Structure 1
Amino acid sequence: MLESLEKMLAQGIDNPMLRLGLGKGYLDADQPGRAAEHLRRCVELNPRYSAAWKLLGKALQAAGDVEGARQAWEQGIATAAAQGDKQAEREMSVFLKRLGRLTPD
């Protein structure tokens, strides 16, 4: 799947759904750095995409960027709240709480 998505990107197709698919694919393939690159581009293309913010936070956390994950989830919570996406808002709030327990202030 990643190969076909990368081919689409190489052909000049670039949109939030494609970037989300690439980000999720690379995250599932345990390549969080590559996932974060695509997910960052996804939220640049559509900053109101709360699912992308959620995955970006996961990718950044997996890549060891705790502060980046925190910022992504905070932005994602604000985005989800503005759109009435209560489920995404709750999930990212839980991720933030867990992150707070994992890292000292």
Structure 2
Amino acid sequence: MECCSNYNKNEKYKKTKRSDEDKNKLVTRINKLIGQMNGIKKMIEDDRYCDDILIQLSAIDKSIKSLANVILDNHMHTCLIENIENGNYEVINEIIDLFKRFQ
């Protein structure tokens, strides 16, 4: 994976170039989450018991956190390190702000 700092002033956001394999893995996880959410929607429409729905919501919460951790791990091992090695210490403040959002 290339570094996140590939920032073009003509674009609105920074970008991270990911391999097709990495993209596919992330998209597969997201599709699984979408399927779980659709399942919960159906449970609600079918008047399923609250406990059953809450258990499924808990599973989704864990899946989302797991996905976030994969992305964070990749970010820290690629983007963060590369930026620091190139003298861009501003990314340290960015990662601190990111951790604050996770709390």
TM-score if structure 1 supplies the norm length?
A: 0.31
Q: For the pair shown, which has the larger CA radius of gyration, 1 or 2?
A: 2
Structure whose residues are more often helix by fraction: 1
Q: Which has the higher contact order (CA 8 A, sep 6+)?
A: 2
TM-score by length of 2: 0.31
